[in-house]
Chain A
């Protein structure tokens, strides 16, 4: 057990180096383009970047609520993968005799159950119906 006052900060040195490197890289890029980049301003260049499309209308345009629903359903599956992958990667490493093995198995099943419930809920809510 250690408190903040007692922690040996030197063990965080590599982290500091990484942070410094990242900051320096960003700074160099920004300052470099400012200094050496050619500057040819134009109307199109001044526009908001919208994935290559011309920005028309108000920025507060309403999207169909279905987009959000789909985004959320996507999240359900995305998060599922995020958890499933590391689980699958580590589970085989547990020894067969390890008593925790059963728990880890049931835990992931429980997790899958929750995603199934989320799926059923989404289905009933009509997320997958495009009419």
Chain B
């Protein structure tokens, strides 16, 4: 038990960091308060380092997720800390510095804001660690609950509050749906333990019929979690919330809950498919696709709709934030192609990044996180004072006109981020999309790949508009000036640099993603006693011994694989 605690070290560090931030953020001394960001960054750094050194778990069908997901969360989280500086209490701090009023702990939000940020990241990390439905639920909610507040307090306008309320209610609806799904999944498989569920579903699949209750639960869970990843049919909040919240918070919304959601979807789907599609060399679900037909069709439709709706709506926007919101929807659709492809083909022979949809999704999460952060960082670093003296961030296309000439750093950040999000070779985004493409083709899902291709072309339209406006137009009529908070353009610059520099490290990153996306092979002992009892060598029984120990000797071929090294 103590050994398994080591899997949680990154989360523990983040928790301690959150505790620290919560206390020092309320200090009346300005110097101490300003340490908040550093404390967050420090704990993220430590968490990231610990995550890289975490050995893979061994309790879920996707044991390798853990180190990779936590590491990218910590990495992009570090950039987000930079970007989030000055979001909640800038005006208060200015007034205090000017001596117009004294510090009031009751009015200050900094401590909570940073602590919530860390809690949210911690929740996302926990999603990767979770090996039980209850854990998974708690982790998902831990990811989302802080973000509701973060959205509402991010700016002073009523828009942020509206966004917060909208986000909260729809989030609660989503949570209700997937919780119901979890409950049904438990009803249909008799366990909340993911490994047990996987084994039970494989057994039912091998016996030819999957319990409809379990299948309904799985689908409800996927639909509910699609709120977190902003996929159709739970995408409606995205543009409003992204626009209402401050740009740095929107950047966070586009990455942290999305990562948590995809990790959850991957975990859930891995319980029902891919490697189990071919149990003992037999094509369980038929048609060569390693997912149950119902789930496959549902995911297919969600993926196709998500891509198309996201892109078509994004084309119509005049606000960059709304456009990025819809494009966030579209990117989720792209990644769902990878989820569908799964680890379908070639697991035995030459299993590689290019054939693994799971790895492609995991890699794309990083690619998207970095690229998207750059775009939002540019918006966050351009601002003007409105008549009330409030600082307003850039939002409309006209606000970034000629940015490359008026402030080259922000402008080029925008250009590079947009081109990377578009997937233009040789930027980082291309490699991400390439992985999804090849995984989709490897899984034989040509129609979906064609839809993906056409959608990339639609996306070109609005991303190019962004590039054209900031690169080609003359700066005129824009009253926006670079922000005084230097950390924001810095975050943007780092992520813009990232989409270039990470190309050189694409290989190790892809390898890591491949390792992370490896599905623990499962063998289903079809013994003379019958197929009643599933057995495995790779998925150990949970600690409680009362559920019946596996019977039969472990199959030898799975011995060396699956632990992810």
> Is there a direct interface between A and B, measured as CB atoms under 8 Å apart in the complex?
yes
Q: Is the CB of A103 within 8 A of B2?
A: yes
Number of interface residues of B (CB under 8 A): 22
By a CB distance below 8 angstroms, the chain A residues around B190 are 1-4
Number of interface residues of A (CB under 8 A): 15
Is B19's CB within 8 Å of the partner chain A? yes
By a CB distance below 8 angstroms, the chain A residues around B548 are 1
Is B393's CB within 8 Å of the partner chain A? no
CB distance from A109 to the nearest CB of B (A): 13
Q: Is the CB of B188 within 8 A of A3?
A: yes
Is B211's CB within 8 Å of the partner chain A? yes
CB distance from A18 to the nearest CB of B (A): 22
Chain B, Cβ-Cβ closest to A2 = B190
Is B60's CB within 8 Å of the partner chain A? no
Dominant secondary structure at the B interface:
helix
Q: Is the CB of A103 within 8 A of B1?
A: yes
Is B560's CB within 8 Å of the partner chain A? no
A window 96-129: CB within 8 A of B: 99-100, 103, 114, 117, 120-121, 124-126
Chain B, Cβ-Cβ closest to A116 = B19
CB distance from A1 to the nearest CB of B (A): 5
Is B200's CB within 8 Å of the partner chain A? yes
B window 26-56: CB within 8 A of A: 26-27
Chain B, Cβ-Cβ closest to A113 = B19
By a CB distance below 8 angstroms, the chain B residues around A86 are none
Dominant secondary structure at the A interface:
helix
Is A41's CB within 8 Å of the partner chain B? no
CB distance from B516 to the nearest CB of A (A): 29
Is B535's CB within 8 Å of the partner chain A? no
Is A52's CB within 8 Å of the partner chain B? no
Is B13's CB within 8 Å of the partner chain A? no
Is B187's CB within 8 Å of the partner chain A? yes
CB distance from A128 to the nearest CB of B (A): 12
Alpha-carbon distance between A124 and B22 when the two chains are bound, in angstroms: 9
Chain A, Cβ-Cβ closest to B1 = A103
Chain A, Cβ-Cβ closest to B115 = A121
Q: Is the CB of A4 within 8 A of B187?
A: yes
By a CB distance below 8 angstroms, the chain A residues around B22 are 117, 121
Top 7 closest pairs, chain A to chain B, by CB: A124-B26, A4-B187, A117-B19, A1-B190, A2-B190, A126-B105, A121-B22
